[in-house]
Amino acid sequence: MVEYLELGSAPEFEKNTEEQSEMRAECNQYIELLKVRFPDLDRLSYRIVWENHDSGSYATVGAYYDDEDDIAVEQVGFIEGRLPGYWDDEHIYLFQ
């Protein structure tokens, strides 16, 4: 079954935009950073997820994977503790 792990909309220590009109661009920028940071993760994909909240909708990035695929589960676990803290964090992590 396809599942996803929420990764946030920006690096952990950066301020997220609160303007809904800018959220998609911020998430797309974060997705590009994640693709550079984890170049060999071929069993998951990044997509923008819109969530509803009491104060309105917000966007976040989800790492989608098949929870019946052992390698995909390992890959999503691999990124959990290695997410970038800042936009200029250019460290690259290889899964294999």
Domain spans of the chain?
2-80
Predicted confidence (pLDDT) at residue 21 exceeds the cutoff of 90: no
Q: What is the pLDDT of residue 18?
A: 85
Query: Residue 33: left (phi > 0), alpha (psi -120 to 50), or beta?
Result: alpha
Alpha helices in the chain (DSSP H): 20-37, 70-80
Read off the pLDDT band of 94 (50, 70, 90). Answer: very high
The tens digit of pLDDT for each residue in 42-93 reads 999 999 999 887 877 889 999 999 999 999 999 999 999 999 999 999 899 9
36 touches 90 (CB < 8 A): yes
Q: What percent of the chain has pLDDT over 70?
A: 100
User: How distant, in Å, are the alpha carbons of 1, 47, 60, 90 from that of 50?
Assistant: 20, 10, 6, 27
